[in-house]
Structure 1
């Protein structure tokens, strides 16, 4: 069952995100498109409006689904230390564990990098698809290829934010995977981004090859303060 750790929480997170996004989209109503005289402007106008609408909808979905995303990642992360603190099914147990350890803020650790990840992906994808449609042939059979290419580029560019989100979700959570000597203690997500960049770890997990081996991290000397611990 190791391959299915966090499956229940992940499924719930995606369902909450999808439902919230759909409801917000319905509340916003139909998209109004104003077509000016210049033929190039309406296309950009539609692209900008579509992007802003998706950003608003997705932002609410991310906010409400993030607590379940935290549970899912920690369910997976506890495999490193062979722990059984979080459950893939018992949501109440997970809520109690997070609240007792970190309070309300524990449900939203890693929220900002995840939000930046999702929003940047939307913007890059929509802009690339729009540019491909306007500069290259727009036959219907080409549209899936454009969308695939745009998604690939967006995911490649934003992958470091995905790494930071995952690390910050586990960091200082009480799990062994987020503590010394397995992982350093980060003050915030910006600190994690900087440190991971220095050690060339922002792309870790993205490839089976060219991995950087850094080993474990040394324990601090007795009495050394840990940032925001």
Structure 2
């Protein structure tokens, strides 16, 4: 007996929530690095050319530190709001996917006009999804960022939401929303447009491996463009915690930013727009002299 759409959606949501839970410690470490928390000293290492450098602790060393301070449960700070956000996003993506499949049935032509229409519809769904999920993103970020100052102000999804609404108003729940949604939109359009032009003009049907190239184009574009749009994600995270009363978002760690552009310019001036994009072989800003010995 074939599965119903509701059963399929439920299975996908459950799978998404499971993946979110499993990968949460990784995102937790990444977030602490994004807000500039470096509790462990760098270690001496060498580049591939043999030049001595200082390497900051990687994912596993950082996770072990959190484990030592907070125990196993501590690795899952902020998980509940992330699962809520993941569930909403999964449902929204499912609707987008069904719309795309229906569109392919209705029209087989792969025209540029059709691409623009589909991408526009996808953008609207994605923006609406971000509107619904961003408050949970803010709550999750603040729950995790409490590790830095050892605060206990944020715990529980609904109590956090009430606290933010009471102290900061609706704008507090949407701290960092603009760079987050701009990054989403930029990624979506660039990925779809580049994929279309490559599939249409670079991988024409006369080439024997054209179908293989087309199947991997969007995946490769996604990886490449995620690097280019990363600063938007970083700024969204920093703005979500900035000036909210937690040590992670207050001076001297960060100034109180007037806007997300102020935050962007500050990180750019410090050469930190890609902070947290790497979890291994993270080089400290100071390079050791060649005469340094282990």
TM bracket, shorter-chain basis: 0.7 to 0.9
Q: Which moved more, 1:98-107 or 1:112-121?
A: 98-107
Give, in angstroms, the shift of residue 130 of structure 1: 1.2
Counting only pairs closer than 5 Å after superposition, residues 60-79 of structure 1 correspond to structure 2 as: 60-79=128-147
Counting only pairs closer than 5 Å after superposition, residues 54-203 of structure 1 correspond to structure 2 as: 54-87=122-155, 90-134=156-200, 135-136=202-203, 137=207, 139-203=210-274
Match 1:209 to one of 282, 290, 294: 282
Aligned residues: 205
Partner Cα distance (1:141, 1:95) in 2:
47
Give, in angstroms, the shift of residue 201 of structure 1: 0.9
2:80 touches 2:157 (CA, 8 Å); kept in 1? no
Number of the residue aligned with 2:291: none
Number of the residue aligned with 2:78: 6
Backbone CA RMSD of aligned residues: 2.5
Partner Cα distance (2:215, 2:261) in 1:
35
Give, in angstroms, the shift of residue 96 of structure 1: 2.0
Q: TM-score, structure 1 length as denominator? A: 0.80
SS of 1:80's equivalent?
Answer: helix
Listed as ranges, the gaps of 5+ residues in structure 2 are: 1-72, 287-294
2:100 touches 2:118 (CA, 8 Å); kept in 1? no
SS of 1:148's equivalent?
Answer: helix
Listed as ranges, the gaps of 5+ residues in structure 1 are: 36-41, 214-229
Give, in angstroms, the shift of residue 19 of structure 1: 2.6
Post-superposition Cα deviations, 1:91-121, rounded to whole Å, max 9, x if no partner, equal 2211122122211211111111000011111
Pick closer, same or farther for the CA change 1:122–1:172 going to 2, 3 Å: same
Post-superposition Cα deviations, 1:109-137, rounded to whole Å, max 9, x if no partner, equal 11110000111111111112212212125
2:138 touches 2:175 (CA, 8 Å); kept in 1? yes
Could you list the structure 1 runs, at least 4 aligned residues long, displaced by more than 6 angstroms after superposition. 24-29
Give, in angstroms, the shift of residue 198 of structure 1: 0.8
- The one of the two structures with greater contact order (alpha-carbon pairs below 8 A, sep at least 6) is 2
Post-superposition Cα deviations, 1:171-201, rounded to whole Å, max 9, x if no partner, equal 0111110001122211110110111111111
**Larger Rg belongs to:** 2
Give, in angstroms, the shift of residue 157 of structure 1: 0.9
Post-superposition Cα deviations, 1:11-57, rounded to whole Å, max 9, x if no partner, equal 1012123334555887999546595xxxxxx4322321221111011
Give, in angstroms, the shift of residue 144 of structure 1: 4.2
Match 1:17 to one of 89, 96, 107: 89
2:242 touches 2:250 (CA, 8 Å); kept in 1? yes
Pick closer, same or farther for the CA change 1:132–1:23 going to 2, 3 Å: closer
1:21 touches 1:60 (CA, 8 Å); kept in 2? no
